Structure 1
Amino acid sequence: MVRTVSIWRWQLVFTGSIVAIVVMITAFKPQTFANPLVVAGFGLVILTTVATLAVPWHRLPRTAATAVPLLDALAVGFTTNAPDIRLGFLWVFPVVWLATYFTLPWVLGGIAFISATLVAFADHNGAPADILLRLLTLVITLGFLGVTIRIGSQRSRAARRLLQRRSEQVNRAAERAEANQRRVVQIVDALRVALVVVTTGGRILQMNDAYRALYGRDRFGAALPSASVEYDARRGTALPPSRTSLARAASGEQLQAERVWLFDGRGQWRALEVSTQSMASAGEGEDITLVVIDDVTALLEADEERRAFNAVVSHELRNPLTAIIGHVDLLREREDLPGRVPAQLDIIAHAGERMQDLVASILQQTSRSAQEPFAPVDLREVVDEAAASYAPVFSGNRQELVIAGATSLVISGDPFRLRQVLDNLLSNAAKYTPAGGRIDVAIDTAATGQAEVSIIDTGFGMTPEELSRVFEPYFRTESAVRAGISGTGLGMGIVREIVAAHEGSIDVSSERGIGTRVTLRFPPRSAEEVQA
């Protein structure tokens, strides 16, 4: 359809020019119409125009349109028969048409056709040399015009194609940038941390869904009727507009985990930690700041629950332990105790005191700092003490406990925590080894210089799948559950944490029906520690 309109446009412009010339001839030199070739030329233009408007050009090949400028050239050739009117300049129209839309051979062919019509129909009055000169001048002029326009048209098309390709590339880049921006927005909106970008003028450039939900904003950033209000403390004083988190960030204040309380639109208190981060300038003289707001309400509530749990532990465990230890001390003062009873009371008292220490460590609000230096600890002594505590258990189960290896192996550590490790491992060995079984404890120095303690039992053992889950909280083997063996499934996780705190490692290997081997390795003491 575009090609059809272009053909119509060119032909109507040419026809309009011919009509204007006919009007002028009628006004100033009507006798020209006495020449039948001139009338035929003007008539051919009209017929060609009518045919041009009637032909469905979109259904025909592209080269079919060359018939129109060639017919126009023939019509102009008819009009050149008038001796006193120079209408040959009208050949410029078909030549320009051919040069604009068709290849150079068509342009040269059109010029040759025009030359033929000039020879056939033009007025031949005058000397042969003059006629030849007019012919050559016309051919050279039209040839120069056609070639020049053709080259310009090719360059114009090449430039248009280049601009079109660049436009397509720009559009594709814009689409990719828009898609990337949408992905970034989706990722940012999926975060649970509230993010907002604010300028020095207090204007919000961007925010994510977490911020909208927290501060009661719609998707356009406007405040909802039930907007949230910031306070300096829970149930404290509402912050003035100049001291809100956004206002302080816009003013250039650097915030780092600043605590703010928020009363949201649903009537709930939320504890927030606000941090700021400077970003690239949004424009001349205007800086922007990223505000990161983390909702720590759940953490504070968990801390409150932990303190309540500590209070329960203090009341429910410490007081009964105090009573147990007190009555054991009273029994130990008696002189009529038979046989092994005093030794057994000593074990009970020692176990109660250790339980008191354990409860105290649970109740502490801060654990031992990782930077706090450890004291020298003899692993052999820790093993012997733990074995003495569990000797009645092994004896009652008719289990054999054998301790072998180094008589002294000193490392740097926490004796209380290391005793927890040995107690847990010996307790497991006793529980999961059937009556008549054997538990071996080997203490030695490995080839790498590390202190090594191995506990080997001949118990139930574990499958590879169970072994892979041995450190999971609350995990217990299926055989232990079926046998009704008591336990919480937390012991091995506690052991691993204590060993890791000593920069050591723990390795567990087991085979179903054969037994389990637990190997502890601790770094050797440094030369400075030995010298000290």
Structure 2
Amino acid sequence: MIRTVSIWRWQLVFTASIVAIVVMITALTPGTLGIPLFITGLALVVVTTLVAFAVPWQRLPRRAVVVLPLLDTLAVGLATSAPDIRLGLLWVFPVTWLATYFTMHWVLVGVAFCGVCLVLFAERTGDTADLLLRVLTVIITLSFLGVTVRIGSQRARAARRLLERRSEQVNRAAERAETNQRRVTQIIDALGVALVVVAGDGRILQMNDAYRALYGRDRFGDALPSTAVEYDRRRGAAVPPGRTTLARAANGEQLQGERVWLFDSEGRWHALQVDTQTIAAAAEGTHITLVVIDDVTELLEAAEERRALAAVVSHELRNPLTAIIGHVDLLLERDDLAPQVTAQLEVIANAGERMENLVASTLETTRSTAEEPFEPVDLREVVEASAASYAPLISGSRQELAISGAESLVIYGDAFRLRQVLDNLLSNAVKYTPAGGRITVRLGSAADGQAELVIRDTGSGIAPDELPRVFDPYFRTDRAVLAGIAGTGLGMGIARGIVEAHEGSIVVESGLGAGTTITLRFPHRRVKEVLA
């Protein structure tokens, strides 16, 4: 069915051409307007145009539309009665219309109708032979035009149908590919091993559900508010951003059985075994890496349980072995034993001593595995790592964070626990400092030689009557509660416990509207080590 808009467009183009010619005739040969047939032709064009806009063509059969180009043909035929004006050229419009939307039969009917109109209404100047020659010329020209347009229209429709079929085939292929992609994604998501594909610029291209759950990522790859942090060892130092698993994979490093410790958003430790594999990239000069992360926490915990069981069993075996060896030694001191009995007792004593040595060796091994002594920790690195994790929040709040003082400040301690302290203190500074505020961290040495770390903010501060209670469990200031600032009131107490475990001290100074200053001091070496 020809669309109504197409009908309007064809008729308007024809009518606009007639109007332009009438304007020229009025200006140049106004006498032509006195010819009755010419005026009748113009009137027919107006009527046909009104019919084109008034009739609901979508409700009529397709053949009904053919009336319009035939009426236009008749109108042009009536207009050819004007002398010395080649208005017959306007038959190009209805013939092209017929050739575009109707069969070859209607094209020939239209051309024949043009010839009849030419015979009936055209100017009669010249002899009969001249008239016949004009009719033949018009019919041949219009026939060639109609056939050419019709063939082109048929080819265009055939090409369109071919494109539609190919488009359908492409759509079906795309649907099959999408279905296969979903199946592969479902299979990958069902795996317990975390998989992630990272590009050379650090972008995550694809990941499975196991990776999302492990690293706290949403379905688009963005980090959730409580993100997981990688550490070089359990309760060790946080891995710098440039040395995380993804960063190393993006840089093209090949990892085979790399051990990484992850502290997830729910406060649980995960022992990870990381492997990387380079995969094909779409463009030359770029590389894509598949990172395979296996959570071996349960295996390590099972090994730890076996170690603990071995330690308990070995410890419990020591007492009865000591009793056996002791009583055998007492028996060997007697003089009334037969030589054969003495030999048998010596065999028992030797076996007992070997078992005692084995138990002692097992205990020593399990003890050395379980101990986690304090190690050298650079507070500057801990501060910078903590600051890097809060950089997006600080930037979003239009705050400023400045770290100054010693480039390196080494103490003996637990890097993981010290990072917890810094995270708590910086979190409070960011939460209670308004937009545009400033947070400073200075590292150096106190007057007594201890390592000193001072965190100062320009926040709302704490009232004098509330300041002594900042370390109480669940305590929160009235201003924080009224302002609706999130928190539990446990962070400062936890921080003080960790600092005291390092034989350090924490002092809080604050005033309403004057900000808060927190001073941490640590011995460069543990007091217990010095006394030892």
Q: Number of matched residues? A: 335
Change (3 A) 1:130 1:269: same
Partner of 1:71: 71
Partner of 1:149: 149
Q: CA deviation at 1:275?
A: 0.8
Render the CA deviation track for 1:362-397: whole Å, top value 9, x for unaligned.
Answer: x9xxxxxxxxxxxxxxxxxxxxxxxxxxxxxxxxxx
Change (3 A) 1:259 1:142: same
AA at the equivalent of 2:191: L
Partner of 1:90: 90
Q: Which runs of 5+ in 1 are unaligned?
A: 331-355, 364-532
Partner of 1:35: 35
CA–CA distance in 1 between the matches of 2:165 and 2:234?
61
AA at the equivalent of 1:77: G
Q: CA deviation at 1:258?
A: 1.6
Render the CA deviation track for 1:496-526: whole Å, top value 9, x for unaligned.
Answer: xxxxxxxxxxxxxxxxxxxxxxxxxxxxxxx
Asked if 1:294 corresponds to 2:294, the answer is yes
3-state secondary structure, aligned to 2:278: strand
Render the CA deviation track for 1:111-145: whole Å, top value 9, x for unaligned.
Answer: 11111111122222321111111111111111111
Change (3 A) 1:114 1:268: same
CA–CA distance in 1 between the matches of 2:63 and 2:141?
25
Q: CA deviation at 1:322?
A: 12
Change (3 A) 1:51 1:302: same
Please say if residues 107 and 146 of structure 2, whose CA atoms lie closer than 8 Å, have aligned partners that are also in contact. yes
Asked if 1:44 corresponds to 2:52, the answer is no
CA–CA distance in 1 between the matches of 2:303 and 2:47?
98
Change (3 A) 1:52 1:200: closer
Q: CA deviation at 1:316?
A: 7.5
Partner of 1:254: 254
Q: CA deviation at 1:183?
A: 3.0
Partner of 2:244: 244
Q: CA deviation at 1:317?
A: 8.9
3-state secondary structure, aligned to 1:281: coil
Please say if residues 99 and 153 of structure 1, whose CA atoms lie closer than 8 Å, have aligned partners that are also in contact. yes
Partner of 1:190: 190
Q: How does 1:203-222 map to 2 (within 5 A)?
A: 203-222=203-222
3-state secondary structure, aligned to 2:3: helix
Q: CA deviation at 1:240?
A: 2.6
Q: How does 1:46-445 map to 2 (within 5 A)?
A: 46-310=46-310
3-state secondary structure, aligned to 1:256: coil
CA–CA distance in 1 between the matches of 2:4 and 2:202?
58
Change (3 A) 1:157 1:282: closer
Please say if residues 256 and 275 of structure 2, whose CA atoms lie closer than 8 Å, have aligned partners that are also in contact. yes
Change (3 A) 1:2 1:104: closer
Please say if residues 282 and 288 of structure 1, whose CA atoms lie closer than 8 Å, have aligned partners that are also in contact. no
Larger deviation, residues 88-97 vs 249-258: 249-258
Please say if residues 281 and 288 of structure 2, whose CA atoms lie closer than 8 Å, have aligned partners that are also in contact. yes
Aligned structure 1 segments of 4 or more residues deviating by more than 3 angstroms: 307-324
Q: If the length of structure 2 is used for normalisation, what is the TM-score? A: 0.57
Change (3 A) 1:58 1:212: same
Please say if residues 201 and 286 of structure 1, whose CA atoms lie closer than 8 Å, have aligned partners that are also in contact. no
Q: CA deviation at 1:175?
A: 3.1
CA–CA distance in 1 between the matches of 2:112 and 2:259?
91
Q: CA deviation at 1:2?
A: 6.0
3-state secondary structure, aligned to 1:294: strand
Partner of 1:11: 11
Render the CA deviation track for 1:381-436: whole Å, top value 9, x for unaligned.
Answer: xxxxxxxxxxxxxxxxxxxxxxxxxxxxxxxxxxxxxxxxxxxxxxxxxxxxxxxx
Change (3 A) 1:78 1:243: closer
CA–CA distance in 2 between the matches of 1:21 and 1:33?
12
Q: Which runs of 5+ in 2 are unaligned?
A: 332-354, 363-532
Change (3 A) 1:243 1:26: closer
Larger deviation, residues 235-244 vs 152-161: 235-244
CA–CA distance in 2 between the matches of 1:240 and 1:49?
78
AA at the equivalent of 1:30: P
Partner of 2:398: none
Change (3 A) 1:243 1:64: same
Please say if residues 196 and 292 of structure 1, whose CA atoms lie closer than 8 Å, have aligned partners that are also in contact. yes
Please say if residues 2 and 62 of structure 2, whose CA atoms lie closer than 8 Å, have aligned partners that are also in contact. no
CA–CA distance in 2 between the matches of 1:73 and 1:240?
84
AA at the equivalent of 2:80: T
Q: CA deviation at 1:263?
A: 1.7
Q: CA deviation at 1:313?
A: 5.7
Q: CA deviation at 1:315?
A: 7.1
